[in-house]
Amino acid sequence: MSRACVIGAGPAGLTCAYELARRGWRVEVCEAEGAVGGLSRSIDLWGQRVDLGPHRFFSRDARVNGFWLEHAGEERVVVDRLTRILYSRKFFHYPIRPFEVLGKLGPFEAARCGVSYLAAQCRPRGAEATFEQWVANRFGHRLYSIFFKTYSERLWGLPCTELDADFAAQRIKGLNLGEVLASALVKARRGRHKTLADRFWYPKAGCGQVYEALARGVEAAGGAVRVGSPVRRILTRDGAAAGVELADGTALAADAVVSTAPFTDMVCGIGELAAVHDEARQLRYRNTTLVYLLVDRREIFRDNWIYVHERGLQTGRISNFRNWSELQTGGRGEAILALEYWSYDTDALWRMGDAELVALARRELAATGLVREGEVRDGRVVRLHRSYPVYACGYRQRLAVLQRAVGALRNVAFIGRNGAFKYNNQDHSILMGLLAAENLADGARHDLWQVNTDYDYQEGAQAAPAP
């Protein structure tokens, strides 16, 4: 084999393409959007540089760390991380700090939380098949309702009783109120939960800087990166990769195909997998709508981003790009905030016009008390179709059927968040790209489906030696 077509120029696709190209393969990357980076790309707005929502990089894998640092180069800064929950117009650190909860919720509410926690320890809920059961068993139902339920249901568009416990297991494994209490009492740094990384490296020109460098590396090694080239389907012949068909009908021949496009679409486009098309159609993705607001104020809040748990609002997260890298601001005095909204294709929010979305975001930002509506000078909307694979109860069984079916295809790999239907971070997707390249070029036998299934969230280590 010497020719490969990689669908998608995000972290997973570009990593795989780069590794294959430097091994002498003829690689062609087909990206539907007009720029590289996928969900991790950066864009220019109002003379500043912003990401598609907040992105940080962490990994415990030395290869992944080395790969990221190589392509980030020396143009990076150390960022002090601060992320909090906004609830009832008060900020709460996450993980929860018991004395802060006592002071801000008041002794009566704190007592209710304590009783609820003790009840959960005495009589845990069910077999922890759902997100609600998993979290309530570790925090009690009252704290779960205040600090977990609202955000999670906004994100997924499902009751937490219909959300698989995998989401909790991947994102907050090991965290429980007992650990938090012990940490607060002994004031031991090591007692903090592993998702609390105090500082992290960040590319000066935004997250997309890494993937722009990777794309240049692919081309320097003889590969090609086509932007604005959506792929309609993967072509197979006798159970093996034959190439891809672009949306305009152009066919590109290839000995191997690596896809980071939405898994369900690609499976349903392969005629040889017709027997599992119905299973694929049962899996769903959640969309993200980002509303960027230009605020005529330099200092707004100190956080990189905040989780919004205010009742009556639709936004779930607000990022402040002034708190990432000064180079991104272009020397401007204004701040750019990004409000995130999540929806399905059939939701009215997804079909809302840009002007209506900007007006909604302005009202909701003012309702948080963070900014007065008159301070917002302008707004822009970016829509990200199928940005989150939905872990609805039962998804694992359907996904297993599809994994067995695509596993029978030769020289076809599905990687990345969308491509593998896994809630990946950048590090998971980079690792998938590295391993997929080793499978194709070196004859390795890595099980790509096992990446990001150990439920050990990767925020416990620095992305490089401690800053």
Whether residue 420 is predicted with pLDDT greater than 60 in this model: the reply is yes
> Considering the domain boundaries, does residue 153 fall inside one?
yes
Q: Show the beta-strand stretches assigned E in 314-446.
A: 317-320, 335-343, 376-389, 412-414
Residues 104 and 180 in one domain: yes
Question: What is the C-alpha separation between 145 and 152, in angstroms, rounded?
Answer: 10
Average pLDDT over all residues of the chain: 90
Tokens for 109, please give them.
């509410």
> Is the CB of residue 3 less than 8 Å from the CB of residue 20?
no
Whether residue 325 is predicted with pLDDT greater than 60 in this model: the reply is yes
Q: What is the pLDDT of residue 466?
A: 46
Residues 277 and 413 in one domain: yes
Mean of pLDDT values over 301-323:
95
DSSP codes of every residue in 232-257: EEEEEETTEEEEEEETTS-EEE-SEE
Residues 115 and 147 in one domain: yes
Instruction: State the pLDDT confidence band at 274, using cuts at 50, 70 and 90.
Output: very high
Residues 180 and 237 in one domain: no
Whether residue 457 is predicted with pLDDT greater than 50 in this model: the reply is no
Q: Which residue has the higher pLDDT, 175 or 281?
A: 281
Q: What is the pLDDT of residue 179?
A: 61
Q: What is the pLDDT of residue 467?
A: 55
Give the model confidence (pLDDT) of 95-119 as tens digits. Answer: 677 778 888 988 899 889 889 989 9
Mean of pLDDT values over 444-467:
64
Mean of pLDDT values over 371-400:
96
Q: What is the dihedral of CA 413, 419, 420, 425, to 10 degrees?
A: 120
Q: What is the pLDDT of residue 201?
A: 86
Give residue 421's domain range: 3-38+208-282+395-450
Whether residue 411 is predicted with pLDDT greater than 80 in this model: the reply is yes
Nearest to 56 by CA among 74, 33, 78: 78
Question: What is the C-alpha separation between 288 and 290, in angstroms, rounded?
Answer: 6
> Is the CB of residue 379 less than 8 Å from the CB of residue 291?
yes
Please state, for a pLDDT cut of 70, what percent of the chain lies above it: 91
Mean of pLDDT values over 7-21:
98
Q: Which residue has the higher pLDDT, 351 or 107?
A: 351
Whether residue 462 is predicted with pLDDT greater than 50 in this model: the reply is no
Question: What is the C-alpha separation between 456 and 269, in angstroms, rounded?
Answer: 33
Mean of pLDDT values over 169-179:
67
Residues 272 and 408 in one domain: yes
Whether residue 195 is predicted with pLDDT greater than 80 in this model: the reply is no
> Considering the domain boundaries, does residue 290 fall inside one?
no
Residues 259 and 183 in one domain: no
Residues 269 and 412 in one domain: yes
> Considering the domain boundaries, does residue 464 fall inside one?
no
> Considering the domain boundaries, does residue 372 fall inside one?
no
Q: Which residue has the higher pLDDT, 293 or 100?
A: 293
Give the model confidence (pLDDT) of 31-80 as tens digits. Answer: 999 999 999 999 999 999 999 999 988 887 889 999 999 999 888 888 88
Q: What is the pLDDT of residue 463?
A: 45
> Considering the domain boundaries, does residue 144 fall inside one?
yes
Q: What is the pLDDT of residue 46?
A: 96
Total tally of structural domains belonging to the chain: 2
Residues 118 and 141 in one domain: yes
Whether residue 186 is predicted with pLDDT greater than 70 in this model: the reply is no
Q: What is the pLDDT of residue 23?
A: 96
Lowest mean pLDDT among 168-172, 285-289, 324-328: 168-172
Other Cβ atoms closer than 10 A to 464: 17
Asked which of 170, 194, 218 is the last residue of a domain, the reply is 194
Pick the most confident of 96-100, 199-203, 414-418. Answer: 414-418
> Considering the domain boundaries, does residue 426 fall inside one?
yes
Q: What is the pLDDT of residue 454?
A: 56
> Considering the domain boundaries, does residue 169 fall inside one?
yes
Asked which of 168, 194, 220 is the last residue of a domain, the reply is 194
Whether residue 176 is predicted with pLDDT greater than 70 in this model: the reply is no
Residues 259 and 401 in one domain: yes
Question: What is the C-alpha separation between 54 and 271, in angstroms, rounded?
Answer: 38
Mean of pLDDT values over 369-380:
95
Question: What is the C-alpha separation between 466 and 148, in angstroms, rounded?
Answer: 31
